[in-house]
Amino acid sequence: QKEVEQDPGPLSVPEGAIVSLNCTYSNSAFQYFMWYRQYSRKGPELLMYTYSSGNKEDGRFTAQVDKSSKYISLFIRDSQPSDSATYLCAMKRPLNNFNKFYFGSGTKLNVKP
Amino acid sequence: ETGVTQSPTHLIKTRGQQVTLRCSSQSGHNTVSWYQQALGQGPQFIFQYYREEENGRGNFPPRFSGLQFPNYSSELNVNALELDDSALYLCASSGTYNEQFFGPGTRLTVL
C-alpha cells in the first residue's frame, strides 16, 4: 500500500465550476501538508501549505486537512482554463532538518472553456 | 530573489553511461533535496543535503550520489545508467524545513 493515495483522474470540468481534489494517507505521523500544481513538462509549483488539521484559504484555493480521517482536500473556486494542470499532494513528518516529502501520483485536471 | 534553477534542461544518454545534473538553490536556502519523477507518477525522494552533508536518503541504490557546495548549490550523479532511470529529475530547496520550492527539472532519457 502506498503511503499517499491520489486519484489520477483525469478530471474534466467546465469553466467556473468548483473543483475538489483529494488525497488519503496511511501514516498518522504526517503533520505538514502541501499542494503543488504541475504544468506539463515543468517543475511543481507550491500552491498551499498547511500544518496539522484545519482549513486554509488563499484566493480561489482552499486546503483542508482532516487528520482523524487521514484525508486532505484542495478546493478550487471559479475554475479557469489556466488551472488545467496536474495537482500533486505532498506531506511530511515533523523532523527537523529533514525534508523527505511523500507525494501522491497526481490528479490531472482539465478545465474546459 | 532568484528561484531554484537546474541544468541542463534535457539530456540523452545511453545505458551504462554516467550523468551529472546541477542545481542552484533559492537564495537563503541551505537544504537541497533531489527527486525522481517518472512519467505519470509523483516525485520520489532520492536524497537530501543539508550544510554539505547527505542527511537522508530514499530507496535508491548507491549509484545515485550527490554533492552540495559551500554556496548550497548541488549536483546529482548517476552511474551505470539504466533504461528505468529515464525520468524528470527535480531539485528542491528549502530554508524553513517545511516548505520546498522546486526547480524546472532536468529531463533525462536513457537509450
What does the pLDDT look like over A17-28, one tens digit per residue? 999 999 999 999
As given in the structure block, the three cell numbers for residue A64 are: 483542508
Mean pLDDT along residues A55-66: 95
CA distance A52 to A31: 5
For A46, the closest chain B residue by CA position comes to: B101
pLDDT for B98 beyond 80: no
Mean pLDDT along residues B59-77: 95
Query: Is the distance from CB of A29 to CB of A92 less than 8 angstroms?
Result: no
Mean pLDDT along residues A90-110: 86
Mean pLDDT along residues A102-107: 95
From B25, B40, B38, select the one nearest B100 (Cα to Cα): B25
One-character DSSP codes across B47-84: EEEETTEEEEE-S--TTEEEEE-TTS-EEEEE-S--GG
pLDDT band at residue B106, thresholds of 50, 70 and 90?
very high
Mean pLDDT along residues B14-29: 94
pLDDT for B38 beyond 80: yes
User: Residue B97: its pLDDT value, please?
Assistant: 56
10 Å Cβ neighbour count for A37? 21
Measured between beta carbons, the chain A residues lying within 8 angstroms of B6 are 43
CA distance A59 to A38: 19
More confident residue, B63 or A9: B63
pLDDT band at residue A88, thresholds of 50, 70 and 90?
very high
CA distance B15 to chain A (A): 23
Query: Is the distance from CB of B28 to CB of B95 less than 8 angstroms?
Result: yes
Mean pLDDT along residues A41-53: 89
Q: For an interface test with A, which of B34, B46, B50, B100 has the most A Cβ atoms less than 10 Å from its Cβ? A: B100
Give the DSSP H/E element, type plus range, for residue A20. Answer: strand A19-25
CB-neighbour burial class of residue B10 (10 A; exposed 0-12, middle 13-18, buried 19+): exposed
pLDDT band at residue A80, thresholds of 50, 70 and 90?
very high
